[in-house]
Structure 1
């Protein structure tokens, strides 16, 4: 399950990176278009300003030709070559382009109107009128190095974008590598602990069976303190190993829920009966209260049994006085089966309530009093309740007991 989550996270991060690169490329393209438009606008203004300025200067060859032939159409007597060779026009063009900070080599041309009433397609152009009155031709400029100029203007932008994207990609690949590496190490550790747990469980079970067999063969040893310690500690170790294996199976979804119809009242009574030795040892009082009639519950008998056993076992374990445990079963108004398990134990500190269902979390009281356990019990209970689409809540006051409230949908 965690492997799938990691793959989903990496895939989502890849999509986010692709989207970021796409946005960056689109932004760069937009910036280039904007620079193109700005360049074209400045050239058009410089070109038209040069034509207007030249038309007002009598020393211009074109202006003098038109002035000397007032009876003729200026457009007919001014050839293209005269316009292109007009030094005054060239000076004004250089001056205007420099004013607009355009210092690029360029070529000048005169474009004639097409037979269809439109001029030929040109990059930058301006009408010759008023320099040559009533002239439909257009003066055009061409910049061979314009693309290099635009790219140079974008150098800082392109460089910074490439640097940032490169850094993000580097961090992403490094994080993915170490994440997958840690996942492999975690899987190896989990496999190791699973094998180790199975290897421990077999001899512990044999020790437990041997102790029980010895007690039956020699009744005088049944109350022997050493034999009781062997039986008690082996039982405790077997329970801890089973909890670890249960959590591992849930983590990797190896044992999906096997749902069946359950009579919850009898189901809880059977669990209490299974815990009778521990209840007698603690001289505990366990009360089961059923309010109203309970409909059948649809759930996994094995996992629910383990979950309820964990809660009752904790109520027996974490108590300095005689344990008093009250279990309430009822059906709520919104058609949910509710189970409340209340005890008079050590309770949980308020600042620990938010992390009580986390794996390997153990309260300060449990650690200080050296209660055995790995902090997996309540995490396992939470997972089972979640898998049954239920809810679990805890209310507790330090030194004044704890109440776990569980609710399950009927279907």
Structure 2
């Protein structure tokens, strides 16, 4: 059975009602389970689980330390282009925004790379808008040929591609592909994506399958928190993850947790996701799945990122710029969204070290083998002073 078939047989409203109907007994049953399933995940993201956040955080910490050690992988995005043919109501790069468009040349790319290498990065995420006439597979292939030997790990977040195109980029050295469905609420998806290829919900939904068949080493999933009910969207994302892990069991997976941030010409969040709710979601994913990598970006505030390290995350971005050429070439070009944590790479590395963790600068496969494990737990994990009204 394909994921499209699974998805088509799962009703949004029924899934939402099931989540909100969970009670304390369901949560306690999920917490005591040795092997949790998607019904347990529903309980752990439900309102009924909020009083159990401390217990969830303690177990999330223990599971993460057991599987990943006390390490946080660092990466940074490098935006190659803000050209985009889509109209997306939440994105600063939207086609209908009257901004100056920019796509980096080979020389400009090398300038950005030199800056990032000088700051220690060995894991980079290449990001573009979706402009098939400009930033296409030949362009991506040229970029990979240009920088492949500079980094241990190169990921991409670009428009959905065909399986054969992913095969080309896999051969060129792409390690992972991030593709976010944004929202799994099919009935309103078109309203957020009224124009462009991204408006094709089904094509985007099938993208991780094409990545899996192409042999991509790692696939990144996520929803844009703030578009629709975060609990229901996250359940469908977990459903997608569950399917992919069974279908492409040799592939690694990651989940990201982007909350909507201010940007030029975009809508306000439809749903506010508070800090405690985001902590609950991160812990629920870890309790469901010990192996999935969990990533928190500089969208989040300094306060939140200061305290999230022991709670289940394995990957953090640092020193990020969300505009093409943002590090050196053209720092004042328009950002895709405003970052919140503007601290330098060095400050984030020190934050991780001060928390008793090791900052890992390249992919897990090579660094984890030699990374020291262990380390004691200090104090109550959720003694974080993270307030429920701290939101974007």
Return the TM-score normalized by structure 2. 0.19
Return the TM-score normalized by structure 1. 0.18
Greater per-residue helix proportion: 1
